[in-house]
């Protein structure tokens, strides 16, 4: 089964890492949990859970504002988390790392602040057809507000985007391209470095949605030359409610703040306010400082596991699952790009994705069904939705076997 693949690369000890994730020991309906919904959110290792517990138990105090010891320690942890993120994504400066509530919040911040500063009536924004609603709707809203045009970069039947099409779409009025690093439905890994190189020739800024990309290999924002890169902590083994917006200093320094409140100000009178420096200008109100420390713990943990090794292993799982699922009669995989992350969407002839999902659930297999917040992507294929299995490094070939067996059963039960 998996042996051919197992022998081809250095062994990766998923079983060992599974022990770091308490939730993976639990059962559902009396069966071992097979968690294949990592595209929606990943599970958290003890290192993250313990960081959060220690913070609440030992340190908790609001950051940046207090003179007292706990506040100083809290602030130190928070700013250390920023530096951890900076190093992880290889940002040039810590102040290019803004903490947000998640990828969605980061993208909305750019749509508002960049949009206010740089987008005028008649300008154009390009989005790809495979965007998550989070990297589509904010741009539609911006275009509506500003009287700008939204142009769509369409993908082909394999789920790939062509650079030639992008070149043809960009014009003198194009201000920004919003593009996902990795499609959460098709699994396509977009060639971001090539895309930004082309966009920059035309003077177009690039907003990269890194919600899925952040866990797929090493992300180096300087090498990608992304103008903005947004991601969520919960998709990379960190807590919910925390995320990051990376932005190049050259943009952030020219953008107005989006939200007003505490921490983002320098001086305030009843008439007038001056704003704080980066990154605080974009961090109004009490930040999720404990979430930030949890995220830093997750990044440290993932680095210790080995980002490249984990990604290579996930790719083997993907290949194995693809082989096995393809062998099932009437099953069609949606998204067959050459470069794919460990995400598989599929449909079965005569079986509604929702029914497959329900039956799989009863067998302990957690997958996602529906349009995965990418309605235009599933519309492209004329489908009501897909079943999506998405893998993490703690998944095993035996779990792929469970998935395949459950999918076969689902078909037998519904036909
Ligand atoms: N973009 C992509 C590609 C995603 O997969 C997701 C989460 N499904 C998001 C954006 C939004 O992330 P969040 O809900 O954590 O803000």
- Given this model, what pLDDT does residue 4 score? 41
Asked whether 161 lines ligand 1 (CB < 6 A), one says no
232 lines ligand 1 (CB under 6 A): yes
Q: Please, which pLDDT band fits residue 9 given cuts at 50, 70 and 90? A: very low
Bridge-based pairing of strands 265-268 and 243-247 is unpaired
**pLDDT reported for residue 5:** 47
155 and 264 fall within a common domain: yes
Whether residue 295 has pLDDT greater than 60: yes
Distances (CA, A) of 387 to 211, 220, 369, 390: 19, 31, 4, 10
Predicted confidence (pLDDT) at residue 12 exceeds the cutoff of 60: yes
Give a yes or no: residue 44 inside a domain.
no
Establish if 3 belongs to a structural domain: no
Q: Is residue 299 domain-shared with residue 330, that is, in the same domain? A: no
Is 103 near ligand 1, meaning CB less than 6 Å away? yes
Mean pLDDT of 378-394: 97
* 66 and 31 share one domain: no
- Ligand 1: residue of 37, 232, 392 to mutate (most ligand atoms within 8 A of CB) is 232
Q: Is there a single domain that holds both residue 320 and residue 369?
A: yes
Mean pLDDT of the residues in the chain: 96
Q: Could you tell me how far CA 17 lies from the centroid of its own chain? A: 22
**Is there a domain that residue 1 lies in?**
no
On whether both 75 and 145 belong to a single domain, the answer is: yes
**Domain limits for position 395:** 14-38+306-414
Pair 23, 89 in one domain: no
Q: d(Cα 102, Cα 68) in Å, to the nearest integer?
A: 30
Question: Which atom of ligand 1 lies closest to the CA of 181?
Answer: 3
* 3-7, 179-183, 284-288: segment of lowest average pLDDT: 3-7
Q: Does residue 240 contact residue 222 with C-beta atoms inside 8 Å? A: no
Q: How far is CA 31 from CA 40, 68, 120, 228, 363, in A?
A: 22, 50, 56, 43, 7
Condensed to tens digits (0 to 9), the pLDDT of residues 218-273 reads 999 999 999 999 999 999 999 999 999 999 999 999 999 999 999 899 999 999 99
Domain count, the chain: 2
List Cα–Cα distances, 45 to 55, 132, 237, 302, in angstroms. 16, 27, 7, 10
Among the candidates 267, 285, 304, a domain finishes at 304
402 is catalytic: no
Say if 2 falls within a structural domain.
no
Domain boundary among 262, 288, 304: 304
- What pLDDT, on a 0 to 100 scale, did the predictor assign at position 412? 86
pLDDT tier for residue 7 given thresholds of 50, 70 and 90: very low
121 lies in the same domain as 261: yes
Q: Are residues 278 and 374 in the same domain?
A: no
Q: Is residue 6 part of a domain?
A: no
Express each pLDDT in 61-117 by its tens digit. Answer: 999 877 999 999 999 999 999 999 999 999 999 999 999 999 999 999 999 999 999
Domain termination site, one of 304, 337, 360:
304
Same domain as 140, residue 56: yes
Residues 295 and 314 in one domain: no
Q: Which atom of ligand 1 is nearest to the CA of 235?
A: 15
The verdict on the CB of residue 86 being under 6 Å from ligand 1 is: no
Q: Which of 139, 184, 208 should be mutated for ligand 1, with most atoms under 8 A from CB?
A: 184
Q: Are residues 129 and 26 in the same domain?
A: no
- The finding on whether 403 has its CB within 6 A of some atom of ligand 1 is no
- Is 86 part of any domain? yes
In angstroms, what is the span from residue 8 Cα to ligand 1's centroid?
33
**Is residue 206 one of the residues assigned to a domain?**
yes
The mean pLDDT of 330-352, rounded to a whole number, is 96
pLDDT tens-digit profile of 135-189?
999 999 999 999 999 999 999 999 999 999 999 999 999 999 999 999 999 999 9
Q: Which atom of ligand 1 is nearest to the CA of 232?
A: 15
Note whether residue 5 is domain-resident: no
CATH of the domain at 85: 3.40.640.10
pLDDT at residue 11, rounded to an integer: 85
Give 105-140 pLDDT, tens digit per residue: 999 999 999 999 999 999 999 999 999 999 999 999
Mean pLDDT calculated for residue range 263-289: 95
Q: Which residues contact 35 (CB under 8 A, 6 or more apart)?
A: 23, 24, 43, 366, 392, 395
pLDDT at residue 270, as a whole number: 95
Whole-number Å distance, alpha carbon 209 to ligand 1 midpoint, is 8
**Residues 32 and 90 grouped into a single domain:** no
Distance CA 52, CA 290 (A): 6
Residue 191, pLDDT above cutoff 70: yes
Does 8 score more than 80 pLDDT? no
- pLDDT of 65 reads 77
Active-site annotation holder among 373, 375, 376, 414: 373
């Amino acid at each position: 089964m998996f042996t051919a693949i197992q022998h081809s690369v250095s062994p990766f000890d998923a079983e060992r890492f599974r022990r770091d994730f308490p939730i993976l020991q639990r059962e559902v309906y009396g069966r071992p949990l097979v968690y294949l919904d990592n595209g929606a959110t990943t599970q958290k290792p003890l290192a993250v859970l313990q960081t959060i517990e220690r913070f609440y138990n030992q340190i908790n105090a609001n950051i940046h504002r207090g003179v007292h010891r706990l506040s100083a320690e809290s602030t130190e942890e928070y700013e250390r988390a920023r530096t951890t993120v900076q190093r992880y994504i290889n940002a040039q400066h810590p102040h290019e790392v803004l903490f947000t509530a998640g990828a969605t919040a980061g993208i909305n911040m750019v749509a508002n602040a960049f949009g206010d500063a740089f987008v005028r009536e008649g300008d154009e924004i390009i989005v790809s057809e495979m965007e998550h609603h989070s990297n589509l709707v904010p741009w539609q809203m911006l275009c509506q507000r500003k009287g700008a045009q939204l142009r769509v970069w369409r993908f082909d039947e394999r789920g790939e985007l062509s650079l030639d099409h992008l070149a043809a779409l960009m014009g003198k009025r194009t201000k920004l391209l919003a593009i996902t690093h990795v499609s959460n439905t098709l699994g396509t890994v977009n060639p971001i470095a090539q895309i930004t190189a082309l966009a920059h020739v035309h003077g177009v800024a690039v907003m990269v949605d890194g919600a899925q990309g952040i866990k797929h290999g090493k992300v180096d924002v300087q090498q990608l030359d992304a103008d903005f890169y947004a991601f969520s902590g919960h998709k990379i083994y960190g807590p919910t409610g925390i995320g990051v917006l990376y932005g190049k200093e050259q943009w952030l320094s020219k953008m107005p703040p989006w939200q007003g409140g505490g921490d983002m100000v320098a001086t305030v009178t009843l008439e007038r306010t001056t704003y704080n420096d980066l990154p605080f200008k974009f961090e109004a109100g009490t930040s999720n400082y404990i979430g930030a420390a949890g995220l830093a713990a997750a990044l440290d943990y993932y680095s210790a596991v080995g980002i490249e090794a984990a990604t290579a292993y996930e790719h083997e799982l993907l290949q194995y699952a693809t082989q096995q699922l393809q062998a099932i009669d009437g099953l069609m995989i949606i998204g067959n790009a050459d470069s794919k992350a460990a995400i598989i969407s599929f449909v079965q002839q005569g079986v509604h994705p929702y029914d497959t999902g329900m039956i799989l659930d009863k067998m302990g297999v957690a997958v996602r069904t529906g349009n995965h917040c990418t309605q235009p992507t599933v519309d492209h294929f004329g489908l009501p939705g897909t079943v999506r299995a998405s893998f993490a490094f703690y998944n095993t070939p035996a779990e792929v076997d469970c998935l395949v067996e459950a999918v076969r059963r689902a078909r037998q039960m519904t036909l």
